[in-house]
Chains A and B, each alone.
Chain A
Amino acid sequence: MGYLSAAWTVASRDISRFWKYRFWLAGQLAMNLADVFIFALVFNNIVNKAYIPDYLKFMTPGVAAIATFAAAFSIGREVGVEIRREVTQYLLSLPMSRSAFVFGRILGGALRGMIYQVSFLVLAALIVNVPTTTKALYIALTTVMLTFSMSSLAIAISTSTKDFNLQATLRALTYYILFFLSNVFYPKEVLAMRFPPQILQIVINTPVSLASDIYRWGFGYYENVDAVSKILLLLIWSLTLTTLASLAYLRNLTKQ
């Protein structure tokens, strides 16, 4: 079996198993929609309009960015269960190279993220604005890179321990760090008021912040964003995270 064919076999298996978790997906969908239709909608009434004229429109592209986490992390949840129940012994015995297997898992997670995120991109188009063809291309590229980053991160984190509670906590902790240390909830101007420039630079250059800014620009909430440099920075993040996570997953797969 060739490298890509093997990776695709693993990824397509992961995609087909995605629908098995329809209740889990419904739960995740409820959580992300709650951020838009409960948190953002209610919070819009107490936000200073000088900073954010419409909090609902501001939040929706950000939630589309964070939504990739939920679906891509479903693969993390699955590999976590495999490690706990030692299904990994069976997976390692499959007739394919370990690197093809690892790449297939990351690809599967990324594809899950893309499938899940589509509904939130449509929601952003409905709430904010419909993007032009060029901007839609930027949005698509951003989605690919972001989902690969999230899928890699999820796999590395979920396989780092066999403890169920610790796995859940690590997932939640990563989610909150990615979520809060980003501009999903607040614009750069607000962050600049409260935090030193160094922290501000970190926050606005995380993968989720970069993606949120590109989405906001893509859907027409922001007019002036340097989308090219943000895409390039996101590419560096994506390549780094995918490489590091692949190595970590390989190590965790064979760890006794």
Chain B
Amino acid sequence: MNLNTLRALYLLILWDLNKMLRRAVFVAMRVIWFVIQVTVFGLALTAMVRLRGSLPVDVNYYEFYLLGIYTSMLFSISVSRAYDIAEEFEEGIVEYHLSLPISRRVFAVGRTIGGGIASFLFTLPMFAVVLWLLEDVNVEAVIISLSSALLFAMSITGFVLSIVLSLKSGDATDIMFGVLDSLLIRLSTVFYPAVVLSRYAPYLYVALVNPISHIADFLRTLFLFEEYRAIAIASPIAMASYILGLAVGFSSLAMYIVEKKVEGGGWR
């Protein structure tokens, strides 16, 4: 990797970060949305949930919910890169990017990392709210969770980039990611532990391979309690490996799509 490549990567990351900085209203709205979710929705759900008897370990549902909802927010914001890329395509910016003297591979990696960092930074205020509500947290857990959240955001951005550039349709992008967002969040451990999902075998199988379940349960094992490991979707090492594998896999997919499949024009 030479200096020019690094500079190209830096500029592509900067592109995504600058886009995010220009969206102060957008950030503020998402934060409001999150605050409603952890106050109104989270507190009301906690009031009507009774986990005792359903689980082999004692779990505080509100704490369980906080980390789940943060994960779903990180996923949704990473997925919303799809709308940004779709808009760039409509405005001809993707064609402009493809014509730059940057290799396609660097372009794919740069956009994946840039989009991932932007999504991750976007959710930092929400993560701070979660930490504040959790009260007693250790620094090691914070560092590991931030790193895994960044990796997760990058992997989802890589996936989104691959799909949007393959679909080449604003409408299809809007529909596909709307559905994917809602289905994957419900078929994960965001709202209910895997033990509860296990009563419905097809739902459990989806949750077992669902990246949202892995990141949510990984954060829970970091912050909440040793006992949670007994009901998490997998062991902490397996979940961490899954998140890492996902980032490598989806970045490679983005590189393949951008390098081999994407041409300018043809946007519907």
Contact = CB atoms under 8 A, between A and B. Distances in A.
B186 A35 contact: yes
Interface in B183-218: 183, 186-187, 191-192, 196-197, 199-200, 203
A195 B41 CA distance: 11
B179 A27 contact: yes
The B interface, classified by DSSP as helix, strand, loop or mixed, is helix
Interface string B111-126: 0000000000000000
A191 interface: yes
A186 B41 CA distance: 9
B162 to A, nearest CB: 19
A190 B192 contact: no
A87 interface: no
Interface in A17-62: 21, 23-24, 27-28, 30-31, 34-35, 38-39, 41-43, 45-49, 51-52
Contact of B36 (A30, A163, A180, A187): A180
A45 B174 CA distance: 33
Interface string A7-19: 0000000000000
Interface stretch (A98-106, A170-178, A211-219, A233-241): A170-178
Given A48-B49, A51-B48, A52-B48, A168 B43 contact: no
Contacts of A31: 178-179, 182-183
Interface stretch (B6-14, B25-33, B97-105, B131-139): B25-33
A45 B49 CA distance: 9
Given A30-B183, A164-B83, A170-B29, A43 B174 contact: no
A99 B52 CA distance: 58
Contacts of B196: 42, 45-46
Contact of B51 (A24, A46, A165, A166): A46
Contact of B186 (A34, A180, A181): A34
Size category of the A interface is 35 or more
Interface in B84-101: 84, 86-87, 90
A221 interface: no
Contacts of B174: 24, 77, 168
B49 A38 contact: no
Interface string B229-264: 000000000000000000000000000000000000
B54 interface: yes
A46 B54 contact: yes
B175 A24 contact: yes
B203 A42 contact: yes
B29 A173 contact: yes
Most chain B CB within 10 A, of A52, A77, A165, A172, is at A165
Contacts, number: 118
A165 B83 contact: yes
A185 B26 CA distance: 26
Contact of A164 (B23, B86, B179): B86
A196 to B, nearest CB: 12
A223 B218 CA distance: 44
A186 B191 contact: no
Given A31-B179, A77-B174, A193 B47 contact: yes
Contacts of B80: 165, 168-169
Contacts of A28: 178
Contacts of A181: 36, 40
Nearest to A181: B40
A71 to B, nearest CB: 14
A46 B50 contact: yes
B163 interface: no
Contacts of B23: 165-166
A255 interface: no
B87 A164 contact: yes
A28 B181 CA distance: 12
B199 A45 contact: yes
A45 B54 contact: yes
Given A28-B178, A169-B29, A176-B36, 10 more contacts: A38-B187, A39-B191, A42-B196, A45-B54, A45-B192, A48-B50, A52-B48, A165-B83, A180-B40, A186-B47
Sorted from nearest, which 7 A-B pairs have the closest CB atoms? A48-B50, A27-B179, A31-B182, A38-B186, A186-B44, A165-B83, A180-B41
